[in-house]
Amino acid sequence: MLTSKRGLTAATLFVTTALIATPAMASDTTTSTETEFATAPVLEELAATTLAPVAGPAIAQTTPTQAEMSDLETAKLDAETLAIARATPGIDLGRESMAGDEEPSSDLEISGNVAMVSDYRFRGVSFSDGDIALQGGVDVAHSSGFYVGTWGSSISGGTAFGELELDIYGGWSGEVSDGVSFDVGLLYYIYPTGDVPGIATDYFEPYASISYDLGPVSTTVGVAYAWEQDSLGSQDNLYLYTDFEMGIAETPLTASVHLGYTDGAFATDFGGNSFDWGVGLSYAVTDSLSLGVNYVDTEGPSIEDFTDTGFFFTLGYSM
């Protein structure tokens, strides 16, 4: 915080003349009795002609002049005004202001998250071959609602997809009416460690969702659509989903329910479409640290460590 201090002007009273005059008179006095009597008439004459005029100005100088009194009153008023202004929020004293005590807020907000999961399940399908996966992401959001972010996870994608999934996304999110929020954006899935020449793995997927509250239940309904791309085998894919979440009163527990529907390249059933569903429970250890357990299943044949049913655990930290 920048501060500036204002000096106070004080009047100075000069009494030097009076203080010097007294020793001067004392030094002219002798200890001789004869001299004392002899000089008495002279001293009386000097008292009448010299000391009176000198004493007059000396005494007058001990009394403040009108201008000096005015300066004192002005300094006193300035000090009182400054004290009142400092105690009153909203009054600006040049660079010294109560508002100056607050740091200016930024329009940007940066957040991050890390997690360890017992199995990376995406729309009911395992991307980590049933193994533990490490995940994390960073988001940068503007006060206008626009945001960009990235998220990554370890995977077991074989030679084509490699060992890493990296997602980059951007969009807009905000409240469109009381209690109703909207989110729309574009997501790009990248598999940078894949190493099979001629095989495309990366693809784009626009998405949109709307969130609202049904009493104590937070509800989200969303859609994601990937148009025909080489990495999808020249097919498209439509994904519809809904999520329900509710905090359990008087506890740090939150229950969730998920239902999704896939039509296209990522369907787990041979008919070209499939459902996936799940229920979960998370425990807030702190405001940032959480533990979770989820039961996940999907329609279609059950393939071990790929589409089989199971309970999966999450340890997550957000910042």
- Flag whether 4 is in a domain: no
Pick out the chain residues at pLDDT < 70. Answer: 1-104
Structure tokens at 36: 């004392």
Q: Find residue 168's DSSP bridge partners.
A: 150, 188
Can you tell me the distance from the alpha carbon of 178 to that of 180, in angstroms, rounded to the nearest whole number? 6
> Over the stretch 248-294, which tens digit does the pLDDT of each residue have?
999 999 999 999 999 999 999 999 999 999 999 999 999 999 999 99
pLDDT attached to residue 105? 76
Residues 84 and 169 in one domain: no
Residues 206 and 115 in one domain: yes
CA 13 vs CA 9, 64, 205: distances in Å: 13, 6, 84
Residues 185 and 282 in one domain: yes
Residues 240 and 267 in one domain: yes
**Structural domain count of the chain:** 2
Residues 83 and 122 in one domain: no
| Count of alpha carbons within 13 angstroms of residue 312, beta-carbon side | 28
240 burial class (0-12, 13-18, 19+ CB within 10 angstroms)?
middle
- Flag whether 43 is in a domain: yes
- Flag whether 8 is in a domain: no
Question: Which residues, including other chains, have CB under 8 Å from residue 59's CB and lie 6 or more apart?
Answer: 18
- Flag whether 302 is in a domain: yes
Which of 101, 131, 162 lies at the terminal end of a domain, its last residue?
A: 101
- Flag whether 7 is in a domain: no
Residues 148 and 276 in one domain: yes
pLDDT attached to residue 204? 98
- Flag whether 62 is in a domain: yes
Structure tokens at 213: 């509250």
- Flag whether 9 is in a domain: no
Residues 94 and 113 in one domain: no
Task: Name the residue range of residue 267's domain.
Answer: 108-318
Give the CATH number for residue 244.
Answer: 2.40.160.40
Instruction: Work out the widest C-alpha separation in the chain, in whole angstroms.
Output: 143
Which of 101, 128, 143 lies at the terminal end of a domain, its last residue?
A: 101
| DSSP string covering 260-300 | EEEEETT-SSTTSEEEEEEEEEEEESSSSEEEEEEEEEESS
- Flag whether 1 is in a domain: no
pLDDT attached to residue 315? 98
Q: Are residues 258 and 281 in contact, defined by beta-carbon separation less than 8 angstroms? A: no
Q: Are residues 149 and 137 in contact, defined by beta-carbon separation less than 8 angstroms? A: yes
Which of 70, 101, 132 lies at the terminal end of a domain, its last residue?
A: 101
Residues 142 and 94 in one domain: no
Q: Find residue 135's DSSP bridge partners.
A: 115, 153
What's the predicted TM-score (pTM) here?
0.68
| DSSP string covering 15-56 | -HHHHHHHHHHHHT--S-HHHHHHTHHHHHHHIIIIIHHHHH
Residues 278 and 223 in one domain: yes
End-to-end CA distance of the chain: 27
Residues 166 and 258 in one domain: yes
Residues 232 and 260 in one domain: yes
Residues 39 and 127 in one domain: no
pLDDT attached to residue 135? 98
